[in-house]
Structure 1
């Protein structure tokens, strides 16, 4: 997870953070007089003392009674809990410890040590578990020591120290913050990191975090006072100042909205089975809600069977008596999968909210798509109830990058809908969420409007561009590469939190050659917070609630769904000049519809948030964003090799190719064993090539597959087959004599040939351009040949005569000396190759390939070719998980933490490939 948020930490001194974000200390002296502060300080100091020096009567009440030893970390947490019980450290809040047991609703099973929860929620607390939905102020305890300090605030060091133990603790803290952002609707989160007898304050948001110096809290009463001042000031702030997104209003269990969500979640007798096939139109209920049907305002409001405000307390039988003239007519039937998805979004113990988008009210529960980390967009998708119409819709909540020239997704989708582009979502409404923007990004050394307390030389810091708000320019190098530039600190320099301002040292590279970070080939200066990106909160609602692409039932259906998405892409380009720019497995969805007596599954190309208008011919062809755009697995070879070149139609079409290969290798029956599937995905999708200077491009496997126009792994030619087909001795499907060749094999072969031609032409053009440049370049003095020199003992050099260098071997016949032409012309591809490559300038050729195989009645696809997901249990290689994945610094994140995280260890990650 940490590799998704490199260089996103900035430093503020404790006093400045308090003044900026928690300014109110009115009444502190009355709440915590000197005597009480001294008492609390003594209690904490005594309870946190080492067991050898602690008297038995000072052991916290929560300590084991059987005499068993307590870990130093747990002893500290129990000391805090006991002191809070006696003195209420944070007025109006109670400290709940939760380090031993994970919450049942949390599939990741994370166990943060504790949290302060408002007294208003006290009755809802489940003791000794995390209560993620209730936490106001999170607390994590460590036993102490430099190795467990998540941050390094010594002069000359970067805050994100790359020592393994520090990095893992930092990732642990980020994982806990991510859980709270998932359960709650948050703009920010305050966290106390207690490391032994020191504490830091952290403020997280979607761009990164602000962290203070490490402060002592028990050495003296004055130290304790600073901790108590923070806790008191926090208690006096509003929920909005604490980081709660107050635009999301919690629903109580006795509210009209909560009870209505329960009613809508139960299976309905008239719901329609979405399985593809013929259907008798007369069996479809007249009030059936199709994917994009807008029923208008529900008559239930006019009949006073629902409150206008879903948060209103509702005594159902009293406030809304049953209508004697109806049975179940107040709930309209839908496809079964829609109601099933909604039911899954209402698990026991998960909060429910009312949110408003462009004046419309929606009710949501648990997201059906989780964000893949804390830093970044944090996209969450919900099956929502539109309160006014009582229909199900899909609501996306995200933090979008703030670019001056980046269109809102809703505006782009509206243009597509107006142009009647096929196979795209139908916009309902969209809009910014108030004025909510990330705060940590304001301290970016490149684009921020505020200066952090980092002690680097501002003369050498990157120039700030305050005229336009843009995302900080991210270098196209490996994420987590040696961006931690250090200085040589003086032994006389205090830590950043010291009483005096430390000198501003000269930054220089520390060539740490350990396994923590790959080594850069050239010196590069990077500052704390250079990876910060400014984000704004955004919500969008579309009418269609879709199935994931992995729900396809057989290969032909998969090919058809992808074909529909290519059609959507073609119409968007031709009718609106809009390029999607993030074609990936997760953005291809399935929408069941009723059409001409059939339930028919169509493809939907979703997620247009990164889309842009195509440049006109006369416009300068250059990338308008400072970093790559897309999902690593599916980006074209060209876009990964040249991230600053703008994406084009061929790049997007190639992404569709990678998508269908990805789904096919996972779900279509083939001659690949499970281990081969894992190895292929590791080599083709997870793999990458280090080209030096810490610059990563796509894997050699992906390049070779396209250059050879052959899907293979080692010596195995990958072939797809029906579920009943058999393999011969050569591990190839038995074909002929009634065993047809699987159409997907030939479909992929035809597509690969098109892209093989494209790269053959591009390689020739690049070679020709380099040759022309070499011919016109001013010649430099020739370098002496290292092959033809002999060093004498005194350092002089002589060139031996040719006859001495000649090989004394017998040769038959005569042979002329070979003349090497260093500037020989590259081999030009054939005219047919040029013609094939040219086809990728539009969608026509690729769509013709799909249509030939998907719609042709002569080509028979098996209906039993889908198998269990071949990636079940797959883990990316350790190198990828910890090092090579760093190349995604400039690519949209596609990773998510594993389900558990051990104390002191960061959770391993796996590629998020199906959401």
Structure 2
């Protein structure tokens, strides 16, 4: 959450975010309202007195405070429980004392003292230094992220109680503005005023989106969706089956309106999102398989609807306009834009209170965001659902890299700049699309950039892309321009991500590898990060290994477990050649080696420190010392020429065309069938966004690599994102800024 938090005095905060006339309310009557709240005992002793104190007044209007610390939301796989919250009367959360993310209006978190204070107005970033306080920030960030995932909101309020003190917080997709601490026992009117104002505010002032209407039982829309659930479907109608699966009884259903400047307003019915980016700050994309109730876009009633918060910048373009341009240029294997437009006048306002930004300082990095929706024709499957390793390579590299990405670069002069697992989809063959084989789709072009803009200032001041899949070069140098070689490296990281999770291999600890390779980062400064140690090691060495230097080999089929435990010091078991998966040759030779050659040219090592990290890139470097003996120079020159030859191969798409054509066509007989596809090997109990204490100094703010619902760290605050747009894994995205 770097530089996305700021504090305001209580009076400024309350008047900025809840500017209501409450002059007729006599707050003096509440002078001793919270005397019964226990502040010197256990945390659990605080809940009931605090809730009863407010419920016993006429402050809350049509709302009630509920204790919800004991029971989690039934639909929440992560089993998170807020201590309490303000709910509308009639909510099941009140009677059941159960957290209900779909109806909570204000969440409440209690701590016995300020050692659990998640905010700090005295640091440059707003983030406290103490580990326990950072943990508290992560906890409430998780709550806020979940509320945004379950509801359609422009912003959300939260209260943190710290013994006898309290803070108020307002979350939007630009950042978090929190109030300075106040003693609610000494000044009970301050907490009472907040709850009176929020309870009597309009739904829009509480953050509700008027273009998202909840579908309730008995309504016409509800009956329409129930009729779809009762239909008999063809076996290969994966779109309709996915749509019906999204209509779970534990998550709200919605009618969403998309306002298109050319086609007018179009309405769509949706259930649970197929993808929801974690976190609050940033684009926070959600994707839905949607049933059109407006018609006029083709034979199928189903489309894919993307709901996000785009960055407002003078040179930012709407993704729908970008797609329409690419569609017009004949770029293959990308979505077909149907409708798109900003939602009402929904804008973030947190950035408006960043005083250092107004003073010209770089300390505040809050960005203005606008609510935006895009509807596309194609409904793809998550890349992670590839049926076998050959289709994985086909979808990632052959179709995507050589068609969509190359077409966009050569025909439209556009660089994608956000290659991630969530932005690559697969379209299975079925009767409706009349395909005979799988087809790949490269989605999410919002952060793409015309090549003729490369000579001008960067469009976005922060890192652009999804942290887990960025090249080492871009992770280390956020201001660098993304090149083809960086994009090809990102494709490689996507392939490793899927292969480690779903193909047989020799890696003993998938969770640890996923965290270290994709999420980890090395802190530099107060809240900035550069590439983590494992990804750097792999790119530097040209070999896929663990951080303890154990080589990873992909297998054609699962290997029988070793009957005798081995010491970590023992040499790893050799893999017979017949058991080695052909994907190894795609990753290790020559793609990874070409990428490694590029880095050895960009970042020459110090001669006296072979294990040093990459140095600053050199514009020109001959790679050897002119004072060395001539025969040494000759050897170094040959090595340099070999590096240059290897590196040159990934400056364009041509080499990849030949490589993948051979791998997928000429050598198709070498690939195993569906037997190489395994269930997800990432243990669902492993949470890379909750690292051990020893990792705290290096923990990157990146999203969790795992199936959604993702862990709830923001994907857009320092290095992120969000992986993806259409159905994807959901992420951790601690937070790489995708814009």
Deviation at 1:881, TM superposition (A): 5.6
Between 243-252 and 574-583, report the one with greater CA deviation.
243-252
* SS of 2:343 mapped into structure 1: strand
Number of residue-to-residue matches in the alignment: 680
Q: Choose from 622, 636, 639 the match for 1:827.
A: 636
Query: Is residue 138–residue 190 contact of structure 1 (8 Å, CA) maintained in 2?
Result: yes
Query: Is residue 72–residue 81 contact of structure 2 (8 Å, CA) maintained in 1?
Result: yes
Equivalent residue number for residue 84 of structure 2: 114
Q: Does 1:581 align with 2:417?
A: yes
Deviation at 1:27, TM superposition (A): 6.1
Q: Does 1:866 align with 2:677?
A: yes
Q: Choose from 76, 79, 82 the match for 2:52.
A: 82
* SS of 1:430 mapped into structure 2: strand
Q: Choose from 727, 744, 751 the match for 2:583.
A: 744
Query: Is residue 382–residue 422 contact of structure 2 (8 Å, CA) maintained in 1?
Result: yes
Q: Deviations over 1:77-108 (max 9, x none)?
A: 22233233432332232222211111212222
Q: Does 1:422 align with 2:332?
A: yes
Between 159-168 and 841-850, report the one with greater CA deviation.
159-168
Q: Deviations over 1:644-674 (max 9, x none)?
A: 220111111121122222322332223x043
Query: Is residue 285–residue 722 contact of structure 2 (8 Å, CA) maintained in 1?
Result: no
Counterpart mapping for 1:383-422 below 5 A: 383-389=289-295, 391-422=301-332
Query: Is residue 710–residue 729 contact of structure 2 (8 Å, CA) maintained in 1?
Result: no
Query: Is residue 666–residue 870 contact of structure 1 (8 Å, CA) maintained in 2?
Result: yes
Q: Does 1:640 align with 2:475?
A: yes
Query: Is residue 125–residue 131 contact of structure 1 (8 Å, CA) maintained in 2?
Result: no
* SS of 1:11 mapped into structure 2: strand
Q: Choose from 856, 880, 883 the match for 2:697.
A: 883
Equivalent residue number for residue 14 of structure 2: 18
In 2 relative to 1, CA 632–201 (structure 1 residues): closer, same or farther, beyond 3 Å? closer
* SS of 1:539 mapped into structure 2: strand
Q: Distance in 1 between matches of 2:46 and 2:645?
A: 72
In 2 relative to 1, CA 639–225 (structure 1 residues): closer, same or farther, beyond 3 Å? closer
Q: Choose from 20, 26, 37 the match for 1:48.
A: 37
Deviation at 1:760, TM superposition (A): 4.3
Query: Is residue 518–residue 705 contact of structure 2 (8 Å, CA) maintained in 1?
Result: no
Deviation at 1:620, TM superposition (A): 2.6
Deviation at 1:755, TM superposition (A): 2.6
In 2 relative to 1, CA 135–694 (structure 1 residues): closer, same or farther, beyond 3 Å? closer
Equivalent residue number for residue 159 of structure 2: 192
Counterpart mapping for 1:289-328 below 5 A: none
Q: Choose from 102, 109, 113 the match for 1:140.
A: 109
Q: Choose from 172, 176, 196 the match for 1:232.
A: 196
Q: Choose from 278, 284, 306 the match for 1:378.
A: 284
Equivalent residue number for residue 607 of structure 1: 444
* SS of 2:676 mapped into structure 1: coil
Q: Distance in 1 between matches of 2:83 and 2:561?
A: 54
Q: Distance in 2 between matches of 1:367 and 1:201?
A: 29
Deviation at 1:262, TM superposition (A): 1.8
Q: Distance in 2 between matches of 1:699 and 1:21?
A: 39
In 2 relative to 1, CA 834–16 (structure 1 residues): closer, same or farther, beyond 3 Å? closer
Q: Distance in 2 between matches of 1:16 and 1:265?
A: 50
Counterpart mapping for 1:347-496 below 5 A: 347-358=248-259, 359-389=265-295, 391-447=301-357, 462-463=359-360
Q: Does 1:343 align with 2:313?
A: no
In 2 relative to 1, CA 116–759 (structure 1 residues): closer, same or farther, beyond 3 Å? closer
Q: Distance in 1 between matches of 2:123 and 2:384?
A: 49
In 2 relative to 1, CA 271–124 (structure 1 residues): closer, same or farther, beyond 3 Å? farther
Return 5+ residue gaps in structure 2 as ranges: 260-264, 563-570, 605-615, 713-719, 731-739
Deviation at 1:350, TM superposition (A): 2.1
Deviation at 1:854, TM superposition (A): 0.3
Q: Distance in 2 between matches of 1:349 and 1:585?
A: 27
Deviation at 1:573, TM superposition (A): 0.8
In 2 relative to 1, CA 644–900 (structure 1 residues): closer, same or farther, beyond 3 Å? closer
Q: Does 1:631 align with 2:466?
A: yes
Q: Distance in 2 between matches of 1:258 and 1:245?
A: 20
TM-score by length of 2: 0.82
In 2 relative to 1, CA 84–831 (structure 1 residues): closer, same or farther, beyond 3 Å? closer
Q: Does 1:551 align with 2:385?
A: yes
Q: Deviations over 1:540-598 (max 9, x none)?
A: 11122221111111111111111211121001111111111111122111111348976
In 2 relative to 1, CA 682–379 (structure 1 residues): closer, same or farther, beyond 3 Å? closer
Q: Deviations over 1:461-514 (max 9, x none)?
A: x516xxxxxxxx5xxxxxxxxxxxxxxxxxxxxxxxxxxxxxxxxxxxxxxxxx
Q: Distance in 1 between matches of 2:88 and 2:326?
A: 46
Q: Does 1:98 align with 2:88?
A: no
Equivalent residue number for residue 729 of structure 2: 914
Equivalent residue number for residue 731 of structure 1: 573
Q: Distance in 2 between matches of 1:690 and 1:11?
A: 24
Q: Does 1:658 align with 2:493?
A: yes
In 2 relative to 1, CA 898–72 (structure 1 residues): closer, same or farther, beyond 3 Å? farther
Q: Does 1:837 align with 2:651?
A: no
Q: Distance in 2 between matches of 1:830 and 1:216?
A: 67
In 2 relative to 1, CA 356–724 (structure 1 residues): closer, same or farther, beyond 3 Å? closer
In 2 relative to 1, CA 605–768 (structure 1 residues): closer, same or farther, beyond 3 Å? closer
Q: Does 1:218 align with 2:51?
A: no
Deviation at 1:706, TM superposition (A): 4.3
In 2 relative to 1, CA 463–731 (structure 1 residues): closer, same or farther, beyond 3 Å? same
Q: Quick check: which has more Rg, 1 or 2?
A: 1
Deviation at 1:213, TM superposition (A): 2.3
In 2 relative to 1, CA 426–195 (structure 1 residues): closer, same or farther, beyond 3 Å? same
* SS of 1:633 mapped into structure 2: helix
Q: Distance in 1 between matches of 2:360 and 2:602?
A: 37
Query: Is residue 189–residue 204 contact of structure 1 (8 Å, CA) maintained in 2?
Result: yes
Query: Is residue 9–residue 209 contact of structure 1 (8 Å, CA) maintained in 2?
Result: yes
Equivalent residue number for residue 611 of structure 2: none
Q: Distance in 2 between matches of 1:756 and 1:93?
A: 60
Deviation at 1:694, TM superposition (A): 8.6
Q: Choose from 195, 206, 219 the match for 2:173.
A: 206
Query: Is residue 4–residue 125 contact of structure 2 (8 Å, CA) maintained in 1?
Result: no
Q: Distance in 1 between matches of 2:592 and 2:27?
A: 76
Return 5+ residue gaps in structure 1 as ranges: 52-70, 274-334, 449-461, 465-472, 474-525, 776-817, 902-908
TM-score by length of 1: 0.67
Query: Is residue 704–residue 711 contact of structure 2 (8 Å, CA) maintained in 1?
Result: no
Deviation at 1:240, TM superposition (A): 0.6
* SS of 1:95 mapped into structure 2: strand
Deviation at 1:825, TM superposition (A): 10
Between 871-880 and 14-23, report the one with greater CA deviation.
871-880
Counterpart mapping for 1:278-297 below 5 A: none
Q: Deviations over 1:382-434 (max 9, x none)?
A: 12111123712211111122221121111111112222321111212111111
Q: Distance in 2 between matches of 1:684 and 1:21?
A: 41
* SS of 1:855 mapped into structure 2: helix
In 2 relative to 1, CA 72–740 (structure 1 residues): closer, same or farther, beyond 3 Å? closer
Query: Is residue 200–residue 215 contact of structure 1 (8 Å, CA) maintained in 2?
Result: yes
Equivalent residue number for residue 590 of structure 1: 426
In 2 relative to 1, CA 592–98 (structure 1 residues): closer, same or farther, beyond 3 Å? same
Deviation at 1:137, TM superposition (A): 2.7
Equivalent residue number for residue 698 of structure 1: 531
Q: Distance in 2 between matches of 1:604 and 1:666?
A: 21
